[in-house]
Chain A
């Protein structure tokens, strides 16, 4: 079974609008962490936001927020006020257990922001 599922291969949004990128996860471990990374065409994975399984509040970092719905096992990324520079691949990833563990990534969503 897929640990991380990103069902949107591609998304389009107009500049200045908000967009939600979907991510669902599968784990039986009570302790886990969820991450979103951005990968522009240059190839580097850029960390955006992190949500721990025990965190009571949804994580926010500037224009990025994570809509964490634990019962539904979803961790959607919301980008507000999209900018042209937001065009990139976006990956959702999960770390299971505590401590330093490998990340398991989804297949990614390509976001295109149009003027």
Chain B
């Protein structure tokens, strides 16, 4: 079956520009996670949804970062007024109600110039 998909795969933004990153989880997966992976590092947690409810947003680095999942399926991570330090790969993962394993998408590579 189809895995987690993310779009765009690559995004180049000018400093100060707003960006929106999309995640389509595996169909039927209740839980959705966003992670940020800086170059040469492991992924770091940003936020977590269970259905449409955002249950944990403790990892969002600033109020410029906002995530939503209004219908409990597709999620969007929005970054306002992008800064160079926002350059990273943004990974989305989903999991079912019964399983612990998170399945990841291919990521969106964001470069802020």
Contacts and interface: CB of A to CB of B under 8 A. Distances in A.
Contacts of A18: none
A46 B107 CA distance: 12
B100 A43 contact: no
A91 B95 contact: no
Interface of A: prevailing SS:
strand
Nearest to B32: A100
B106 A44 contact: yes
A35 B101 contact: yes
Interface in B16-51: 31, 33, 35, 40-45, 48, 50
A107 B48 contact: no
Nearest to A35: B101
B43 A50 contact: no
B13 to A, nearest CB: 18
Contacts, number: 55
A64 B95 CA distance: 22
Contact of B103 (A47, A93, A106): A47
A47 B95 contact: no
Contact of B42 (A50, A52, A95, A105): A105
A49 B59 CA distance: 25
B43 A45 contact: yes
Contacts of A37: 104
Interface in A51-95: 52, 91, 93, 95
B105 A44 contact: yes
A43 B109 contact: yes
B50 A100 contact: yes
Nearest to A33: B100
12 contacts: A4-B42, A35-B101, A43-B106, A43-B109, A45-B43, A47-B101, A50-B101, A95-B100, A102-B33, A102-B59, A105-B44, A107-B40
